[in-house]
Amino acid sequence: SGARPKSKKQPKGSSSTKNDKPPNICAYGDCASVVSTYGLPCKYCERRFCFSHILAEVHGCGDKAAKASRAAYKRDMTSHTRGQGLINPSIAGSEAKRKVVANRLADKIREARDK
């Protein structure tokens, strides 16, 4: 009811998903840079671009890059809630092993303080 669907606009000169250019030419629109020796593939669309057009936001993969960035941020921010057991699997399942390691650490701290 009055709500318009968001249009997926691509930046001017960006190429669509179909690319008729040879693999050694930058995949961005009318760019004719040769990329056989230094061109980089986009990790979202796997097409090769010159250094001027490799940024996802420049050649049309900005939405995919933003989504991946948000997912990575969310994963990084929640990793601390999983607990210490996942950091060192050798002591993850045993309370006794954790106590031994904690005691060793306390001993090392005492030794360092006493020096």
Q: For residue 30, is pLDDT > 60? A: yes
Is residue 1 assigned to a domain?
no
Q: How confident is the model over 59-112, as pLDDT tens digits?
A: 899 999 999 999 988 887 776 665 554 556 665 667 788 888 899 999 999 999
Is residue 112 assigned to a domain?
yes
Residue 7, pLDDT score: 44
**Above pLDDT 70, what percent of the chain?**
70
Q: What are phi and psi of 34, to 5 degrees?
A: -80, 130
Cα dihedral 31, 46, 75, 101 in deg (nearest 10): -120
- The DSSP letter of residue 34 is B
Residue 36, pLDDT score: 82
- Contact between 78 and 88 under an 8 Å Cβ cutoff? The reply is no
Q: Is there a single domain that holds both residue 65 and residue 106?
A: no
How far apart, in Å, are the Cα atoms of 49 and each of 7, 68, 69, 107?
25, 20, 21, 56
Q: Into how many domains does the chain fold?
A: 2
